[in-house]
């Protein structure tokens, strides 16, 4: 369990985060009866002791979100309905206190123990900070401690999410009026993509580690040329993660250049990773978008149909993607939006994937974002 929230943040920042955690502990305890509350744990960078330290005129300040897992006995679905609204309100109240977003996720220990290995669960078990409970609660979660068991589709999902961030950054960079808020968003998503470049390579080879510092050490020590070529990107990502910096509107030209460079690099990573995962060869984003096989073979057909019914009604079920998991539509559209040639053939594929009634880059991104928030 982590002793600190950050690697080198000031005592004042550490105390601030500890005070926020105490507010969280008390607030969650007031919402969920003790007989039902199994445990409360801080995950994410601050839970692992590698949270970001933002230097501001008044001293060190937090930067990343605070992500809490609330373990509640019984059905996670029913508990989510019982407590989600109250926890969301608590999160909003404490966000104002913390100065960063406070989020809660509800889960039961029983469901956690029987869940399949994933990158997110590995990070949680290996690096965290208990507010209620201790590591004895993670008994039976040994399969979540083995990074070599993280499936390849988890690496693909990480890259998918980081490339989605690059897509949203691309949209902001195209705005006529570019604000400081836009610049901070773009810079943050570029840095996440830098970090993901190394994470994806390591995860795809069973060498992922919960610590970003250790991941960088492993890349530097690799004998493979591809790994060494990713070191500068991952190094920059680690530097930003531990010591983030806010970009301003005046940094637009620099951000555009950095965005273009990491987007181009991500294209090669995407096609190579998906080629290995699906055991196919892809020469272009359009070729990938049109492949006939399922892009999410790990999901069941019944679940896929139900998800499409909830997401898009009968239109979704009766489409050619009706038996495929909805994220697949995003995975086919994303490479065309991010790396495509913006021609009519690609636009037709995007319309088909996103089932949108309007065309044009902005309309496509809006339709993409709506679906992404549900199935990212």
Residues 189 and 167 placed together within one structural domain of the fold = yes
User: What stretches of the chain adopt beta strand conformation (E)?
Assistant: 37-43, 53-56, 59-62, 66-72, 102-107, 129-132
Residues 119 and 182 placed together within one structural domain of the fold = no
Boundary (domain end) residue, out of 104, 126, 145: 145
How much is the average pLDDT of 130-156?
95
In a domain? residue 125? yes
In a domain? residue 288? no
What are the tokens at 105? 């996720």
In a domain? residue 35? yes
Longest dimension (CA), the chain: 59
105 HSE (CA, 13 A, CB side): 15
Residues 82 and 189 placed together within one structural domain of the fold = no
Strand partners, 61: 54
Return the closest-CA partner of residue 216 out of 233, 193, 192: 233
Distances (CA, A) of 260 to 49, 249, 253, 338, 341: 32, 17, 11, 10, 15
In a domain? residue 173? yes
With H, G, I as helix, E, B as strand and everything else as coil, classify residue 58.
coil
Residues 131 and 23 placed together within one structural domain of the fold = yes
- The bridge status of strand 129-132 relative to strand 37-43 is antiparallel
Residues 183 and 268 placed together within one structural domain of the fold = yes
pLDDT at site 359: 81
Residues 155 and 219 placed together within one structural domain of the fold = yes
pLDDT tops 70 at residue 48: yes
Strand partners, 56: 59
Write phi, then psi, for 107 (nearest 5 degrees): -155, 160
In a domain? residue 218? yes
Could you list the residue range(s) of the whole structural domain that residue 122 is in? Answer: 11-145
Predicted confidence (pLDDT) per residue in 270-319, tens digit: 999 999 999 999 999 999 999 988 898 888 888 888 887 877 777 777 77
In a domain? residue 253? yes
Predicted confidence (pLDDT) per residue in 71-129, tens digit: 999 999 999 999 999 999 999 999 999 999 999 999 999 999 999 999 999 999 999 99
Residues 49 and 95 placed together within one structural domain of the fold = yes
Where residue 107 sits, what CATH number does that domain have?
3.30.460
- Whether the full predicted model's pTM is greater than 0.85, yes or no, is yes
Boundary (domain end) residue, out of 230, 245, 280: 280
For helices 212-220 and 180-203, what crossing angle results, to 10°?
60
Boundary (domain end) residue, out of 111, 127, 145: 145
Predicted confidence (pLDDT) per residue in 159-205, tens digit: 999 999 999 999 999 999 999 999 999 999 999 999 999 999 999 99
Residues 217 and 197 placed together within one structural domain of the fold = yes
Residues 139 and 182 placed together within one structural domain of the fold = no
Residues 135 and 158 placed together within one structural domain of the fold = no
In a domain? residue 3? no
State how far the Cα of 297 lies from the Cα of 279, in Å rounded to an integer.
12
Residues 311 and 371 sit within 8 Å (Cβ to Cβ) = yes
Residues 172 and 254 placed together within one structural domain of the fold = yes
Return the closest-CA partner of residue 216 out of 195, 189, 185: 195
Instruction: Indicate the number of domains in the chain.
Output: 3
In a domain? residue 4? no
Residue 360's pLDDT band, with cuts at 50, 70 and 90, is confident
Residues 333 and 264 placed together within one structural domain of the fold = no
pLDDT at site 3: 85
With H, G, I as helix, E, B as strand and everything else as coil, classify residue 53.
strand
């Amino acid at each position: 369990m982590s002793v600190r929230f950050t690697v080198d943040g000031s005592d004042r920042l550490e105390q601030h985060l500890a005070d926020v955690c105490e507010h969280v502990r008390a607030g969650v305890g007031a919402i969920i009866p003790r007989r039902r509350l199994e445990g409360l744990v801080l995950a994410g960078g601050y839970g692992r002791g590698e949270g970001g330290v933002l230097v501001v005129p008044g001293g060190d300040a937090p930067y990343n979100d605070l992500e809490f897992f609330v373990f509640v006995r019984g059905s996670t679905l029913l508990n989510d309905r019982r407590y989600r609204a109250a926890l969301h309100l608590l999160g909003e109240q404490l966000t104002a206190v913390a100065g960063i977003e406070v989020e809660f996720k509800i889960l039961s220990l029983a469901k956690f123990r029987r869940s399949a290995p994933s990158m997110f669960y590995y990070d949680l078990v290996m690096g965290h900070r208990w507010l209620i409970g201790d590591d004895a609660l993670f008994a039976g979660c040994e399969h979540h401690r083995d990074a070599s068991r993280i499936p390849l589709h988890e690496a693909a999902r990480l890259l998918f999410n980081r490339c989605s961030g690059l897509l949203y950054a691309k949209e902001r960079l195209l705005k006529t009026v570019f604000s400081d808020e836009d610049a901070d968003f773009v810079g943050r998503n570029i840095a996440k993509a830098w970090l993901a470049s190394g994470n994806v390579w390591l995860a795809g080879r069973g060498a992922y580690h919960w610590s970003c510092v250790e991941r960088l050490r492993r890349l530097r020590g690799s004998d493979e040329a591809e790994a060494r070529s990713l070191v500068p990107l991952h190094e920059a990502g680690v530097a930003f993660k531990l010591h983030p910096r806010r970009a301003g509107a005046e940094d637009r030209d620099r951000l555009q250049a950095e965005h273009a460079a990491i987007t181009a690099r991500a294209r090669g990573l995407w096609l190579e990773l998906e080629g290995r995962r699906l055991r196919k060869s892809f020469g272009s984003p359009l070729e990938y978008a049109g492949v006939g096989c399922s892009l999410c073979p790990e999901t069941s057909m019944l679940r896929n149909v139900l998800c499409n019914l909830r997401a898009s009604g009968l239109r979704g079920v009766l489409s050619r993607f009706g038996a495929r998991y909805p994220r697949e539509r995003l995975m086919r559209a994303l490479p065309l939006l991010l790396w495509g040639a913006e021609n009519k053939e690609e636009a037709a594929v995007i319309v088909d994937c996103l089932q949108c009634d309007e065309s044009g880059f902005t309309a496509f991104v809006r339709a993409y974002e709506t679906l992404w928030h549900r199935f990212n």
